Protein backbone atom coordinates (compact mmCIF):
# COMPACT_ATOMS: atom_id res chain seq x y z
CA UNK A 1 0.00 0.00 0.00
CA UNK A 2 1.36 3.37 -1.03
CA UNK A 3 0.52 5.95 1.60
CA UNK A 4 1.63 8.96 3.64
CA UNK A 5 1.89 9.29 7.41
CA UNK A 6 -0.61 12.17 7.56
CA UNK A 7 -3.39 10.73 5.37
CA UNK A 8 -6.62 9.89 7.24
CA UNK A 9 -7.83 7.67 4.38
CA UNK A 10 -4.57 5.71 4.61
CA UNK A 11 -5.06 5.18 8.34
CA UNK A 12 -8.61 3.96 7.74
CA UNK A 13 -7.54 1.58 4.97
CA UNK A 14 -4.70 0.17 7.09
CA UNK A 15 -7.01 -0.42 10.05
CA UNK A 16 -9.64 -1.99 7.80
CA UNK A 17 -7.10 -4.46 6.41
CA UNK A 18 -5.50 -5.18 9.82
CA UNK A 19 -8.92 -5.90 11.32
CA UNK A 20 -9.49 -8.52 8.62
CA UNK A 21 -6.04 -10.14 8.84
CA UNK A 22 -4.81 -8.84 5.48
CA UNK A 23 -1.02 -8.74 5.25
CA UNK A 24 0.36 -5.70 3.48
CA UNK A 25 3.51 -3.65 3.19
CA UNK A 26 3.50 0.14 3.48
CA UNK A 27 5.48 2.46 1.23
CA UNK A 28 5.47 6.10 2.35
CA UNK A 29 5.54 8.19 -0.80
CA UNK A 30 6.72 11.25 1.15
CA UNK A 31 9.94 9.34 1.87
CA UNK A 32 10.35 7.52 -1.47
CA UNK A 33 10.38 9.72 -4.61
CA UNK A 34 10.24 6.68 -6.92
CA UNK A 35 7.13 5.44 -5.16
CA UNK A 36 5.57 8.90 -5.40
CA UNK A 37 6.24 8.92 -9.15
CA UNK A 38 4.66 5.47 -9.50
CA UNK A 39 1.53 6.58 -7.63
CA UNK A 40 1.22 9.63 -9.89
CA UNK A 41 1.70 7.46 -12.98
CA UNK A 42 -0.89 4.81 -12.08
CA UNK A 43 -3.41 7.48 -11.03
CA UNK A 44 -3.26 9.43 -14.31
CA UNK A 45 -1.20 12.31 -12.99
CA UNK A 46 -2.78 12.51 -9.56
CA UNK A 47 -1.01 11.95 -6.24
CA UNK A 48 -3.70 9.79 -4.64
CA UNK A 49 -3.26 7.82 -1.44
CA UNK A 50 -3.89 5.22 -0.43
CA UNK A 51 -2.98 3.50 -3.66
CA UNK A 52 -2.97 -0.25 -3.32
CA UNK A 53 -1.24 -2.81 -5.50
CA UNK A 54 -2.77 -6.26 -5.85
CA UNK A 55 -0.72 -8.48 -8.11
CA UNK A 56 0.06 -6.29 -11.11
CA UNK A 57 -3.01 -4.09 -10.65
CA UNK A 58 -3.20 -0.74 -8.84
CA UNK A 59 -6.24 1.06 -7.47
CA UNK A 60 -6.79 4.11 -5.33
CA UNK A 61 -9.09 4.06 -2.31
CA UNK A 62 -9.32 7.82 -1.89
CA UNK A 63 -11.64 8.80 -0.43
CA UNK A 64 -11.71 5.72 1.78
CA UNK A 65 -14.54 3.42 0.80
CA UNK A 66 -14.88 0.17 2.76
CA UNK A 67 -17.20 -1.29 0.11
CA UNK A 68 -14.66 -0.69 -2.64
CA UNK A 69 -11.77 -2.01 -0.55
CA UNK A 70 -13.58 -5.20 0.44
CA UNK A 71 -14.59 -5.77 -3.19
CA UNK A 72 -11.14 -5.03 -4.67
CA UNK A 73 -9.38 -7.26 -2.11
CA UNK A 74 -12.12 -9.91 -2.06
CA UNK A 75 -12.37 -9.73 1.74
CA UNK A 76 -15.39 -9.45 4.04
CA UNK A 77 -16.88 -6.02 4.54
CA UNK A 78 -17.59 -6.76 8.20
CA UNK A 79 -15.14 -8.25 10.68
Query: Domains of the chain (ranges plus CATH)?
Result: 2-73 (3.40.30.10)
Confidence of residue 76 (pLDDT cuts 50, 70, 90): very high
- Tally Cβ neighbours within 10 Å of residue 49: 24
Q: What's the rounded mean pLDDT across residues 73-77?
A: 95
Given this model, what pLDDT does residue 49 score? 98
For residue range 18-55, list pLDDT tens digits in order.
999 999 999 999 999 999 999 999 999 999 999 999 99
Non-local (6+) Cβ contacts of 62 within 8 A are 7, 9, 48, 49, 50, 51
In sequence order, the β-bridge partners of residue 54 are 57
Count Cβ atoms below 10 Å from residue 67 Cβ, excluding itself.
8
Backbone φ and ψ for 59, nearest 5 degrees, come out as -150, 150
Amino acid sequence: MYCTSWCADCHRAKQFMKDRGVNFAEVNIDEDPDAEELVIQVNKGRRKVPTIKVGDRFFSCSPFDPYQLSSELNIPLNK
